[in-house]
Structure 1
Amino acid sequence: MNDIKTTVHSVTYDLLRSLGLTTVFGNPGSTEQTFLQNFPDDFTYVLALQEASAVAIADGFAQATGRAALVNLHSCAGLGNGIGSLVAAYRGHTPLIVTAGQQHREMVIGDPYLSSPDATTMPKPWVKWAYEPSRAEDVPAAFMRAYAMAVQPPAGPVFLSIPLDDWNHPLEGPAVRRSVSTAYGPDPQRLRHFAERITASRHPALIFGPDVDRAGGWQAAVALAEKLGAAVYGAPLADRASFPEDHPLYQGPLGMSLKTISDRLAGHDLVVVIGAEVFRYYPYVAGDVVPAGTDLLHITDDPSVAGSARVGDSLLGDARLSIEGLTGLVDAGGDRARPQPMERPRKLLATPHSPLTPSEVYAALSRVRPQHVVYVNESTSTMGQHAEWLPTVEPASFYGTPSGGIGWALPATVGVALGLRADGIERPVVALIGDGSFQYSVQGLWTAVQHKLPVVFVAMRNGEYSILKSFAELEHTPGVPGLDLPGLDIVSEARGFGCKSVEVETTEQLEREFTAALQSSDGPVVIVVRTQPEKTEL
């Protein structure tokens, strides 16, 4: 007879172990301590100093590993702190299981301190599923369902609210463990129809969105483009790159408004969008979705994305599987005219500016760019310069925020580095962040320091919310307050968290300090470089 007492706690931890969810990201609170009690030696707890950072670190970890991640937040207050990062995870199709503690079941009726009266409503609409078990016995099954919901396409975050007294409830195990599919193939007949329309096109355009990279479809995208000899464009406001941006067929990013996107697609008789929205816009500049006379085909694994497209015919299916299927069905380009390689002006003045321009900063970084580097970017006003000087040339090498909020990139960079370390992959990780973005989650540096992560943060200090000034000019809204950021001392902030930090003013200093930081084994380094504000083309 087995004399070992099994509880909801022990049964659930065995299930988490079998699912590979042995890293927990969070910031502990009183209602979560029963979950975290007797924390197993084979589990890792990654502490963040604020819940928004905990969610973003888990997001980066899940994206880097390609697996689900587990986040533990503190009741409704901690969940509220984390929702901004939860929006990014939802928009980025990141599989997260987010849990929060609930007060003792016998007290909830009286709405006690730290209770969450509408626990499953609070995180909506930014989770695929939200649940609070009706019985303590249902907690392991709730975790199993949460995992299945998180990883099934379209992947995304889910939420569980768990009363603190559930964990010590007696329960016989083990929990039921199931496996689920993480991809599904497109309808063969409709895929064949799409292939026929692509073959018949004289001037097709391919747009590979971030879900192609997530699905491991980078090489498949290259094969399809090369077989067709078709122009390839970067999806608007993409949070992952899915095609080598130095490839002769690559024509650059589309833009971010109706007019700019439609203008860029002029001359194409067919546009094929795979793994992206149609389209992700930022400013409103009147125009057509696609030029008159241009057809559009859309392939996505997200029914809501297919439903929200304003033009075109859709096909549901995994991005990689769909691309591979199309490649086998389409005819080669034949006498179709191939596009000319994109020109990159890359012009700099002989005498550097002071402060440096963003182009000078990115040009300097391009000269000392290490092999297989991973970039995380949240300098929204300099994304054009990033694309110009630091093109993405291999899979899983670029991460950006898909939500439009800021404060995601610094902790996400920590998560990416942790994920690469967990998988035994040695790649340089570099974050490019604006001074405004840096302030939202600066406490994430502490976690990077504690784990001695070899990460380089380049903070561009232009003293303003530059992208908002460009937007204000576009929208004809003069006199908007709060767009200047005087008095920030990022070097001192970073050092206060135990992080090495330096400030540079010239490209020579930047190249020297960046190279030294990459070679450092002492943990993260923050390099602050003063830059000139520049207007962003919207």
Structure 2
Amino acid sequence: MVSQLRDEERVVSVAPESTVHSVTYDLLRALQLTTVFGNPGSTEQPFLQEFPDDFTYVLALQEASVIAMADTFAQVTRRPALVNVHSSAGLGNSLGNLVAAYHGNTPLIITSGQQHREMVIGEPYLGNRDATTMPKPWVKWSYEPARAEDVPNAFMRAYAMALQPPAGPVYLSIPLDDWKRPLAGPAPVRTVSDRVVPDEQRLRSFADRISASSRPALVFGPEVDRSGGWDAAIALAEKVRAAVYGAPLLDRASFPEDHALFCGPLGISIKAVSDRLAGHDLVVVIGGEVFRYYPYVPGDYLPAGTELLQITADPEVAAAARRGDSLLGDPKTAMDQLLELVADGSARATPRAMERPRKLPATPSRPLTPPEVYASLSKLRPLDAVIVNESTSTMAQQIEWLPTTASGSFFATASGGIGWGTPAAVGVALADRSRGTSRPVVGLIGDGSFQYSVQAIWTAAQHKLPIVYVVMRNKEYSILKSFAELEETPGVPGLDLPGIDIVSLAHGFGCRAVAVDTTQDLERAFTQALTAETPTVIVVATQPQKAAL
């Protein structure tokens, strides 16, 4: 844009004065941060004013949904995502799903407005009190620029911090009066590395120990798929001829769950993991924690005679391991090098693959059981479909009937918090659209989880995203009832969910919606949803499923 001044019949073009706002937006363009996920507030409007035509604003109706959408958008596009939420209370609303982004190593740049600098000393209404403290410990870096002139450089540093390993969310608090301050540009653009090469000598010693093992096991965590290591994981497992287990409470699947070497997921307690690994003399955990435990069921951390090696890009994850020797490094890079170093394991006995009994009732149930639901979906799921799962009590049945078979095609929350899955499916679909990819997105959501972020389906409807939500309506927090039984705590209140009309809610937000109670109706609705050009919510009446704890 230029302004025109007429002086003695001459037209002179004068470039407008650069401001913090214009210089920052030019930097965001250079960094390809042109999609903004947000829910605007008064202190954010100076940042969003005259929103450029070459930027996209994705509006979600609650800040936790904003974070979850940006989370999977960044995971699928494999670059940082930009988030803008309201100061103070708005940032507070976002924290539940910020925990998931932190544990999932998702590079997010989260911004919120701060009140006018002139007012901050007096603790104004909706000011960011202790601005840099509030989002901790769930961000890698938290900053409020000391001067308006520092805003573009703060974004550049935030980008670098978010992307460098271990990747993760960062936070900027920006006073609303900073944006109009004059500032000469352009802001410097820097590139940063997003991988760390493992120590060569230590990796070689790990390779020697793997080669010497008589019955090794490999556990591939979510870092493997995030690093692009899916094919390297397959090649390593096949060369070593090792049993492969899914890491506990996976948020990304990193190995095909229908592979002959896949032996199923580990449990989620100390005892369950140890029992599962019995008989292995060496366990190699690549790209994951050792281990993600949840319920306390005491036992040995490792079976007697079993050693453990861990490769991770995250020093905190390495330091927190209760057993084993660790190596820091990018998982894909480490596996590529291990393939050259480990001895061929073809002489080892072939591990027994995961058993899939796939037992169904002799006659259809009323309500349906989760295995019946998954059996129907397994017949119709397209091979390239993406699954976003937040039906926590039925994840074991999902692996049995709907195994993940391709990289980047399974997503779940990394934190265990409820309310991530519904908006996360929106982020996946938006990311696919932005990169020109067309594949079905299927959200498997529990009815309790769906209520935490039901407003996210409005964003899906506004963008006409062809997401199929399958909501299993068992009218309770089934996972919590399973924990109540495990923890011997009878009489816990608030675990039942009667009286929720999910179909009407979905219609109200602009989605196609239908309730089904037979496999025939489910299959018909799912088939129709796959070709719809708008989100569909299929509510399936199901029996509660006791979780595998």
Shorter-normalised TM-score: what interval? over 0.9
Find 2:518's aligned residue among 496, 499, 506. 506
Deviation per residue, 1:482-529 (Å, 9 max, x gap): 0000001100000010111000000011011001000112x1000000
Q: TM-score scaled to structure 1, two decimals?
A: 0.99
Structure 1 runs, 4 residues or longer, greater than 4 Å off = none
Three-state SS of the structure 2 residue aligned to 1:233 is strand
For residues 367-446 of structure 1, what are the structure 2 equivalents within 5 Å? Answer: 367-446=379-458
Match of 1:254 in 2: 266
Shift of 1:350: 2.4
Match of 2:80 in 1: 68
Match of 1:526 in 2: 537
Find 1:495's aligned residue among 474, 497, 507. 507
Deviation per residue, 1:259-309 (Å, 9 max, x gap): 110000000000000000000011000111111110000000000000000
Taking only aligned residues, the RMSD between alpha carbons, in angstroms, comes to: 0.8
Find 2:109's aligned residue among 85, 89, 97. 97
- Matched to 2:270, the amino acid is L
1:223 aligns with 2:235: yes
Find 1:328's aligned residue among 334, 340, 355. 340
Shift of 1:64: 1.2
- Matched to 1:222, the amino acid is I
Distance 1:32 1:341 in 2: 53
Distance 1:296 1:60 in 2: 31
Three-state SS of the structure 2 residue aligned to 1:75 is coil
Find 2:296's aligned residue among 269, 277, 284. 284
For residues 124-523 of structure 1, what are the structure 2 equivalents within 5 Å? Answer: 124-521=136-533, 523=534
Distance 1:255 1:505 in 2: 31
Match of 1:19 in 2: 31
Shift of 1:334: 3.6
Distance 1:288 1:63 in 2: 35
Match of 2:9 in 1: none
Shift of 1:4: 2.2
1:7 aligns with 2:28: no
- Matched to 1:231, the amino acid is A
Query: How many residue pairs were aligned?
Result: 537
Gaps of 5+ in 2: 1-12
Shift of 1:2: 6.3
Q: TM-score scaled to structure 2, two decimals?
A: 0.97
Shift of 1:127: 0.2
Match of 2:7 in 1: none
Deviation per residue, 1:199-226 (Å, 9 max, x gap): 0000000000011000000000000000
Distance 1:114 1:264 in 2: 51
Three-state SS of the structure 1 residue aligned to 2:545 is coil
Three-state SS of the structure 2 residue aligned to 1:276 is coil
Deviation per residue, 1:351-397 (Å, 9 max, x gap): 11100000000001001111200000000000011000000001000
Deviation per residue, 1:81-107 (Å, 9 max, x gap): 000010000010100000010000011
Distance 1:191 1:353 in 2: 53
Distance 2:353 2:18 in 1: 64
Distance 1:75 1:494 in 2: 29
Find 2:95's aligned residue among 83, 95, 108. 83
Deviation per residue, 1:25-47 (Å, 9 max, x gap): 00000000000001000000000
In percent, how many aligned pairs have the same letter?
A: 72
Deviation per residue, 1:446-495 (Å, 9 max, x gap): 00000000100000000000000010000000100000000011000000
